[in-house]
Amino acid sequence: MRVRTWLASALAATAVVGLAACSGSSSGGSSGLSVTDTAKPVSLTVGIASPGAPQAAFYWALETGIFGKLVIGDFGTTGAFAALQNGRKMKVVVNEVSGNPAGDVVVKAGAKYTSLLDLSGQSIGVVGANGAGYGAATAYSKYITDHGGKALKIVIQPSAAAMIAAIQTGGLQAGTNSATFGAAIASGVLKELVKPASEQARSITGTGLAAVSYFGLDDQLKSNKVAVTRLIAGLRVALSQLQGKSADEVAAALAKNPAFAPAVLPTSQLVGNLTDGGLPFLAADGGFISKETWAKSLSVFGTWGLNVNGVSMDLSNSNFGYDTAVDMSYWNAATPLVNSFAK
């Protein structure tokens, strides 16, 4: 099994992971093949825009052999909301992360700030003008103004490194949403003002939303029903197995993957990322997306500054409605595999 990672597409910054099924005979088309006939291998391409702690369930399934037992092959990404905005038939099929794992807030070590309200009227950096980090900064700004303070000045940064450098030099007073904060905090460059998994952060940035979802073109999903169903079964098993696992246990499994190798991401930092922005956000109910969850998700996503070529997305448009954008039939079809999986 190979894992391929692509650079983020236009909507990858929304913390949504794309699922794009391969076409052709090697992609696990469903003709003549049963979902539960796991003796016959299939393959699928799944795009992970930026592998990190929020994808713990996927990489746990990959590295502990769950996908192997369910016979899942190759793994690629696309932008679901951009396609939906343009009327393309995309379907979200399973959720991996609930809530906004991008709600961390850091300031320069030694800075006078001790709470969010202390940042009243100050600048906060985010990488990219769309997505979870922008959404978190917007939510924090509203929280501050609701409590009598001044709105945050949200400053778009080209990269996490540029944001950290700006905080160090005083060009920015704070920053949010970066998996690289861990190393800067450990070295004494930054201090963490708000942890993403804290009760405060979750109450402000939103809970229960489908934050990291797998999706694909409707016709591609249908032509690869077997592979898609087995992928979802693997994710559901992984989500179940991860309940109660420590960050150290999960890090040990993820470190086998090149994306999380110690040379790429120090084990201590990976453990910290899993503790703060991974394991606490695992999707409940095996990643099932209800109408209520989707409605709540769209409400939160509406604050994330989503746009296509500078034109804001209207998430109240019927193109984003549950019956148009979500398909839980694959999740339901995966249930027999989940129930029969040898734990």
Which of 10-19, 115-124, 214-223, 232-241 has maximum average pLDDT?
115-124
- Describe the chain by its helix, strand, coil percentages, rounded to 5: 45, 15, 40
For 95, the enclosing helix (H) or strand (E) is strand 90-98
How far apart CA 163 and CA 156 sit, in angstroms, is: 9
Count of CA atoms in the C-beta half-sphere (13 A) of 243: 9
User: Stretch 138-164: mean pLDDT, rounded?
Assistant: 93
14 or 192, which is more confident? 192
Indicate the pLDDT class of residue 127, thresholds 50, 70 and 90: confident
Q: From 148, 323, 183, select the one nearest 265 (Cα to Cα).
A: 183
How far apart CA 254 and CA 262 sit, in angstroms, is: 10
Q: What is residue 121's predicted lDDT score, i.e. its pLDDT?
A: 97
Whether pLDDT at 47 is above 70: no
CA distances from 312 to 59, 142, 252 (A): 33, 20, 41
20 or 69, which is more confident? 69
Q: What confidence tens digit (pLDDT) does each residue in 53-82 have?
A: 888 888 888 788 776 665 433 322 224 788
**Cβ within 8 Å of residue 128, ≥6 positions away:** 13, 134, 156
324 or 45, which is more confident? 324
- In the DSSP assignment, the letter for residue 278 is T
Indicate the pLDDT class of residue 284, thresholds 50, 70 and 90: confident
Separation of CA 317 from chain center: 23
pTM beyond 0.85: no
How far apart CA 144 and CA 140 sit, in angstroms, is: 6
For helices 267-277 and 247-254, the axis angle rounded to 10 degrees is: 120
Q: What confidence tens digit (pLDDT) does each residue in 181-231 have?
A: 877 888 889 999 998 888 999 889 888 888 888 888 888 888 888 888 888
Tell me which of 130-134, 255-259, 315-319 is least confident.
130-134
Separation of CA 147 from chain center: 30
144 or 26, which is more confident? 144
Which of 33-37, 70-74, 170-174, 312-316 has maximum average pLDDT?
170-174
Q: What is residue 68's predicted lDDT score, i.e. its pLDDT?
A: 63
Q: Tell me which amino acid residue 87 is.
A: G
In this structure, the strands spanning 90-98 and 105-108 are unpaired
Whether pLDDT at 107 is above 70: yes
Indicate the pLDDT class of residue 34, thresholds 50, 70 and 90: low
Percent of the chain predicted with pLDDT > 70 = 80
Whether pLDDT at 155 is above 50: yes
Whether pLDDT at 172 is above 90: yes
How far apart CA 1 and CA 272 sit, in angstroms, is: 28
**End-to-end CA separation in angstroms for the chain:** 21
Domains, the chain? 12-99+207-340 (3.40.190.10), 105-205 (3.40.190.10)
